[in-house]
Every structure is written in C-alpha cells, then in structure tokens.
Structure 1
C-alpha cells in the first residue's frame, strides 16, 4: 500500500514536470510561430520592396530608353545641323565654268558696257550683234550636251547637264521635308524659289567675274506674285508648250507693268516674248504633281544649266538673261525677279515648267500704285549659316545626354538597390526557413512533451485505479479482519461461557454422578436388600412391599438423574459447537490475514510497476529537457512577453488541470474524509502503516 502511494506521488511529480514542459513547449511554439510570422512579414515587406523596385527599374529603364532615344535623336539633330551647315555652305550649286567661258563672258559684258557708254546700246539686238557675242556663244555652248539633246539622248543629256554643276543636290533637311503641290504652289513656296533663283544668278555672275557690271538680282514680293499669277493662268488654260502671252500680259497689267489688260487674242503660246520671262518645260509621263522642295530646286538648277549651256537655238536669249547681260544698261539698279513652277496634265505627258520672270527695270515707275511690292524685297533675310542651329542642337544633345546620364544613374541605383534587396530577401527567406525549422523543432518537442504528459497521465490514472483496487481490497480485508476478530471475540466469549457452563455442568455432573454412584450403591444395596428381602419375603409380605416402594423411589430418582445427565450431555454438545465455531473463526482470521499478506504482496508488485514507470517518466523528462534545449532560442525571443503574459494570467490558466489533494492519514476502520484541495506540497509521509495519500494524478500504470 505504501509503495502504491509512493508511486502515485512520483507519478504526480512526473506529471507536474510534464505539464510544465508542455506549458513551456506551448510558449516556445507560440514564440516560434510568432517568429515565423514576423519573418514572413519581413520577407513579404522585402518582397514588396523588390517588386516596387522592379517596377521602378522598369519605369526607369523605359525612361532611360526614352532618354537614349532622345539622345539618339539629338545626335541625329546635331548631325543634321552639321549636315545643314555643309548643305548651307553648298546651298547653291557651283557651276564648272571654263576659263574660256569666263573670259568671253567678261569680254562681251565689257563690250556691252562700252556700247551703252557710247549710246550705241539697242537692247538684245546690240548684244547679239556684238563682236564678242559669237565667241561667247561658242564658249558657253557645250556641243556634247547640245548633241545629246538634239538626238533625243535624254539620259545622257541630263547626266551631262548635272556634271556642269557637280551633280549638286539639295541636302537641306527642311527642303527635303517640305512637300510642294505643283498644282497649287503656295505664295511662300514661290517666294522661296524666287529667293533661291536670285541668289543662284548672283553667284553665276560672280563666278563669271561680271558681278560689278550687271545688275544684282533681287527677289521681290511683287515679282514673286507676278510669276505665281502667270503660273495659275497657264494651269487654268492648260498652256505648257511655250510662253503664254495672255498670262504674261495680264499679270504684268495687274502689277502695273502694262497699260492695258490682256485680250483673248493673246491666248496663245510663243517661242519668245517681250515681257522678260525665261521658260523651260520638261515633258514626261513619269512626272508627279508632288515633289519635295529639294527636288523642285534640283529641277530648277537643271533648267538654268540648260539655259546656260544649250541655248544657241534661242540665240542665247535665256543665257543672256541668266547672266544679267541684258540689264547692264540699268546696272545701277537692282533687277527684280520672281519664279514659280507650273504643272499641266496633257493627254500624252505631264508638263513641268519653270517661269522665271525678270521685268525690265525701265518699266518700273514708283508713281504707279499697281506696282506696289514689285520693288519690295522678300523679307526672308540671308540664309542662316547653320551655326546657331548647330549650337542649339549641341546644347540639346548635351541636355539629353545629361538627362540620359541621370536616367542611367537611376537605373544603376535601382539595380544596386535591387541587388541589395534580393540579398535581403534571400536573408529573410533564410530567417523564415530557420524560424520555420525552429517552429517545427518546438512543435515536435511539444508533441513529445504532450505524449510524455499523456503517458504520465495514463500511468497515474492506472496507478490511481490500482491504488483504488488495493484500497478496496485492503478495506475489504480490513473489514473481514474486523468481522473475524469480532467473531473470534464472540466465539471466545461463548466458548468461555460454555466452558464455564461445561465446567459447572461437569462439576454438577460429577456431583450428580457421585450421587448416582451413591444411589447405585444404595440401589445395589437395596437390590441386595431386595434380594435379601425377597429372600426374606417369605419372611413377610410387608417387608417385600416396603422394599418395592423403596425400589420404585430409587428408580424415579435414577430416571431424574439420567435426565439431568442427558441435559449436561446437551450442554457439552453446545460447547463442542462453540469450539467448532471458534475453530472456523480462527481459520477465517487466518485466511483474512493470508489475504492481507497477499494484498501486501500485490502492493509490493505495484511498487515495482510504479518504479518502472518512474524510470519511463525519467526518460520522458530527459526528452522534454532536450525539447526545452532545442526551443531555447525561440523561448528567449518571447521570454519577456511570456513573463508579462504569465503575470497577467488568471489562476485557472496558471494552474490548468494541475490540482493537488491535501494528504490525510486514516487508520484501518476509519471513514474516508472528503478530499481537500492543496496546491502546496503534494507528498505526505506518515508513520502510520495503514495510510492513504489522496491526490489527482495525470497517469498511472495498473
């Protein structure tokens, strides 16, 4: 019994330890779970930062790409500006005049100037009959080009013509970008072509060395309008095969250069005119009504080259105008000029014509209001040399490159930040994995502790059951012993009473036996007397009657004694029965004592079982201690919070299911008292050999 109580005490202690381990394990699991959640939150935050940085990186890369494209565009702008400088420097073609052409042109110009000084100048007639004219005409005419034209070798013609001005092309970007609708040339476009032609003719005069003799060509508002009006009338009436006299007359009239308007009789074309128009027409089914301004200018240069080098068929009339030789008479005045192209669609071919109008200076009259604008130069100024545009393009490039560098820096910073964030993310992931591993370890340890606690509780339950059985058997044995003891006492008392009665009856029996012996002796004596009397009967009847009476009394007395003897003998049987009962009670007592010894042996076995269970509990405690060690890191993270939480918990949470019963000591035969809750000491050691320790245990083995 004592061993079972000790086993229960040890099991309760093991259960308390296991309960504490489970509580600590739960705290560690909670701490580890919180650590996992914190690590996951940190990981998610870094992942969000990575995503945001990736988004920013994409945006910055897009911005960098845009900036890079802007830099590329700016570089292209710089290149274009540089090309424009070159183009501006080559904005006008350089004709390949031979030394003979230059010399004969100078000679002719000088002869004309001399004729004017001698008042011998009669206009174009004087020029064409000058002594130097034929030499000049021969020198200016390119026989090969003339032959190609006459023989219809147009491909060779255009190739040879282009060679006279070094195959010049207009590389100005603005000219390449501008589209000219040849069916509807705008005033600004006519102005542009007028200025271009004036600059080109002045350059030709300079190349030929006669710029100081001939008038300077000036593009004016009125002359450009006049040329454009001629073009509109030609296009309206479908005229493209020569000078349209009606258009020239009407345009001159509208601008105050003719006294009367044009008449319908003038609606015809002629090979020559008196209005100062130089005209060249190119017929082709491949011609398009839309060209770039650069293409239009290139066509115009080709036309002027043809007028210079293949004009013998017109008695060099076009070449005279292009060189300004017909205006030496008014050399002290500027020669106004207006140029516009026309485009006429015919049944066979399309016709592109350039109308170069140079009204004679002697027609100009400042008093004529209709001539307003004829002498007003076009306000376009000199063409820019392109340096300012280049500087601006270079400044733009520098700004774009600076912006691109800033965008690149932003991308580099994004990449650096992203690299660091990825490292941080990897670290956070590793911490999350470590925290998860700690949580798994703590959870496994908790499961082990819970298993150990469950095992300890089961063992205590079994031990309680075994103790209860032992207590029940002990109580039964104690009750049997008490009953047997009472029965023995009663039997002993009955035996004593019956022994006393037996002794008394024996004494009385002895006394009565003595009396019987006396009576028997008396009977014998009386029989003897009877015999004597009988023998003496003969002696007398009275003696016989007296003897018979005496014999009858003796027989009655004997019968009485015999009855008393039987009664005494019955008392002896009761004594024997009491003795038998005493023997049985003694045997029952012996059996009860044997059963008690058997139960004590069972308790010894229970002690051994509990001792074995204590070893198992010790193993569980060792395993729990390992779990505690494993979860120590997680426990430290929340130690402070757990302490504060523990202080704030109610007693029901603090103690949980761990409730201890105050130990009591009872003596065999005493009534069991009601249990008393005592969360203090859980082990009571009493000197009594028959004591019971009551407590609530989590587990016990049967």
Structure 2
C-alpha cells in the first residue's frame, strides 16, 4: 500500500536518482529530531530499485504530491477549506463595509461642519443686515433739528403754571393780566431765566448746499422752515410734559404763506425801526381771512407787541446779507426758539407763551386744540436803538425770523363768508407733512447702499445654507445606509462564525493555524526570537526547507498582521540552550485583539564543534563498520553523512564504537545545518585533502540518513501542540 503522500526530489550528484520519502514516515520521524536533511545534502547513491521507481518522475519535478487514496481526509479538507474561504470572504466584505462606514462618517462630519459654517455665515449676514437697518432707522429718524433740554425745576415750574392757566384759558374769557397774576407764572418766569445752552448746528450736507434768497423765498423753502418750527415746538412741549394739556403745533400751507407775505413786506421797508411791523402783519392776516380789517398807511408802524400772531426775533451782524444757506436758516430758527424760551422775561414771557401753545389750550368748535404754524426769514437793516431814541442809531444788517401762529379757535372766530373763502383758498389749515429732513443724508445714503450689498450676501449665505443642509441630509442618509450595511455584514459574519463553531477572538480563530519555525543553534548561543512561519511565504532555496514547509505548513494559512511570538519560559530556555539536545519550548503567541495562545516549538541545540584528527578518525570508521549489517544497509545508530564530499559527525561518535540514537540524531542535525547553508559542525580532512567515501560507506550512509530523516520528522510533527 502506498503511503499517504510521497515526495520525490532529485539528487545533486545523480540527476537520474530519486528518493521516495513518505510523509507519513516523515511525520513519525519528526518525533525524534526537529532537523531536516535531503538526499542532495547526503550525496548517497540510491539502490537500483529506487532508480527504477524514480524513472517515472519527470526530470523537471522538484516536489510531487500524490493524494491519499483514503476518502475521509480528502472529504474533510474539501469541507474545511471552502468554509474557511467563505469566512475569509465575509471578513473582507465586513472590512469593506466598515471602510464605507468610516468614509460615510467622515463625509457626515464634513457636511455637519459645513452646515455649522453656513449657519454661522447666515447669522453673520443677518446680523450685518440688522445693523445696517438700525443705522438706516437712526439716520432716517435723526432729524436735522436741535434737542432742547430743561432742568427739573424748569419742568416742574412749567407744569404748575400750565395747570393753573389752563382753566382760565378754557373759560374763553381771559386776558393776559389774569395769567400774569398767577403765582405760578412768576415762579415759572424765574425758572426759565436759567439759560440752557444750545450747541447745535445743522450738519445736513444738502442743507449746506441750498442757498436761500431771503427776498424771494420759494413756497417749498418756507414750508421746510415751517415744518422744522412745528417739530421743535412739539418736541419742547413733550419734554416739558405739557403736551397733553396745550395744543399741538401743525405747520400748514396757508400759515407758511402768511409768514412769507409778512417777511416780504418786512424786507421792503425803507425805515430801520425794530419790533413788529403792524402793516405787514395786518395785511397778511386780511389777505388770508384772519381779519376783515384793511391795512392802511396808519399801520405802517412798529410796535413792541402785537395781537396778530407773530413772534419775532431780530439778529444783526455786519456779515449778514440777504443770502444764507438752508443750514444757516435752520440754525437761526433754533436760536430764536432758544432765546424766546430762556431770555423772554423782558417781553413778559409773551413769546414763550405762544411757542408753548398756551393759547391753544382753548379748543375750537370742533374741540381741536391746535395752533397752526408758519415760519419765514427776512433781511433788512435794523436800528437796535429804536427803543432808545436818545441814542445814536445802531444799525446792523439783520436776519428777522418770523414765527406766525394762529390757534384753531382764533381761525374759527373769523367766520364770515369772505374770510372762510380766503382761509380755504390759502390752505390756512391744510397741514403739511411732518418734518423729515434728516440730520445726515449722506450717511443714510451710504447705509442704504451698504444694506443692498449686505442683503445680497445674506441671500447668498441663505442659498449656501440650504445647499449645506441638503448635503448634510444626504450624508446623514448615506451614513445610516453604510452603518446598516456594516451591521448587517457583521451579523452575517457572526452567524457564519457560529455555524463553524468559531469564536470571536483571534486566538481561537487563528491559534491552530500558527506555525513556529524550528530553531537550530549551537550550545551556548542565544535563541533569538521565535519566528512565525506563516509570516514567511518565500521558502529557503534548498529542497530540505521545501519538504519541511510542505509537511508543517498548511496551504493558504494566514494570520492577522501584527501577530507576534515570544518565548513563554525564558528561564527554561536559558537552561536548554546550554545543553546539546532536542527540546520542545513553549512559545506565547499574541494577536492584535489582545488574545493569546501558547504553542510548542522545536529547539535543536548542537554540541560544540570538533575537528576530526587521524587519532579519532579510525574510531569513527570502526564505529561505522560495527554498526553496518551484512546487507550493506546503514542503521540509524551508526549512520554517517556525506554532503558535498564532507563528513558531518557528532563529537560523541568519535569516542565510542556504538553510537546511540541521540548521537546520530545530533550528527544528522549537523548535516541538516550544512544542507540549509550553515557551515558544517565538523569537517574531516586528511593531509589537507578531502577524503571520498567508499562505495559501501555511501550506501550505508544513505540508508542511515533515511532512518534519521524519519526519526527527526516524527519529532517535529509531534511538537505541533497548543496550550491554552
């Protein structure tokens, strides 16, 4: 019966000779020694029958494996390897799925970061738009007008006085003396003499560019001045806390027309007298339906007071002309209001009473408490010593600010048909739009331009944020899919492992597949680190190593990268490496997942080398002759080896004629070491020449080598054990 497997290899000395070695026999031989040699290393001439058997092997064959005729092992191999392949394939699928999941996680993180950035960019763009909108609101609402401030005493005194005067005014039957007699009037007058500085100048760039001809003001220019005046008066009334009692100042088209007519007549005067020009006031009132009395030459006089609705401020300067900018005109109006509020005691507070709307407390027939306002400015030369005729004239070019005010009840009291027609025709109560001249139109324009750009960036950020959200949703879905796929493939792998009885640790998965290469060293040498044979896929360039790999390494056996081997018992190893012999050393295998297993590996310790001399050479041949039977077959006990025409022998073989198995095994190990490319332990030379073996010695040596080969193969195979 043929053996389980047969390995055939060619001798280096005779290309026609082949030696048949049974794997079964070899495995039994490994139990004795873990060293391999080849017929090539021995250089032994095989028998005639061996030649006959080898003729059937092609010349180009190095190793031939023939399958076992037994069906059990082939069936078992056919079942295990497909299952192992399926397991490896599923592991690869799981690895791919995991890689896809990791990629999806990276994409998800990137998309999430992009969303965060897009949200922040959108928030920044929105904040910028809001900031600019606040600027626009500020500049749009920051009117080109002053803000008046009052002390707490002034505010309280004003409120007490108004509260006391209101019943008198509402009675409809009053005169100024009844108001002047109020104690609160004196306190109010005293409080208002504390002058509040007004540090305001119109900075509106447009106003600074508009030039007014005071002799020919346009209705539009007059309306602007009238609206500014009404806005200032209402602000003052609000700040003093009397707006709910007194009337509201309303700029109208008709009152602007009244003010302009008055200013024109003031400018046409040829005299330089100061104060109110009665002719101008009476004529303008008659023309607008505010009186039914004509203005006559007798009215061409000036007086310190009037009952025709004018509050007048004259401001002289040698630099004044009949030209001024709109900004200067607005500054003049603000100064006039300030002077009439805080420097009016010389006029018995008459201007302040009008500006604060005290007379408008009395409602008209419709219940309206309104005073209608118009403002204009004129230019003329005024003698500031008009009230002091005993002094020389003090004439200055002057700007005269004309505040014209009529309450609703005053207008309503002139109810003749002619008067009403004039009132309607002139638009006496036709309110103008509120004053909206902004303080800084250039800043407003810039803010409007900036917000247009900012809104464009906001829309871009909004689109980018929407795209980022879409990409994030896609990445999230992809991650969910990749995670589901990974989990599903892991579940399949777990099921496959369970179906094969495979646990999840690397030690349990791959422990049986790990192979440790035999270690051969000379006594006293360091053993180094045990080598995992699975990691070395390229075999040594000698036939002995190929045979060993075929016997002890399973095909396609792979273990995880990162698996390491180390001696488990360093103390025992240190002892064994000092003595010649064959040992089974424990090796700790550590896997990447942290699991471990313990295997046994073959360790061959060779004795210290001894060079043969003429004195012991005879003993060696004698031992060989005594151990050779008559049939010429060498026994394992006396085998010597010829490799490349050199003898390799243990030192104990020279000292005794009956070498033991251990001794011949040691010699065989030396031969294996030589066949593997290591220098022979002992070299046998006579008179400097190489001694060739005799024919009988070659045959005996060949048979002895075969016996030793079987013994050492059995020793190696017996060491494939695992300790958990």
**TM over 0.5: same fold?**
no
| Band of TM-score, shorter chain | 0.3 to 0.5
Normalization by structure 1: what TM-score?
Answer: 0.40
Kindly indicate which of the two structures has a greater share of residues assigned to helix: 1
Q: Which structure is higher in strand share?
A: 2
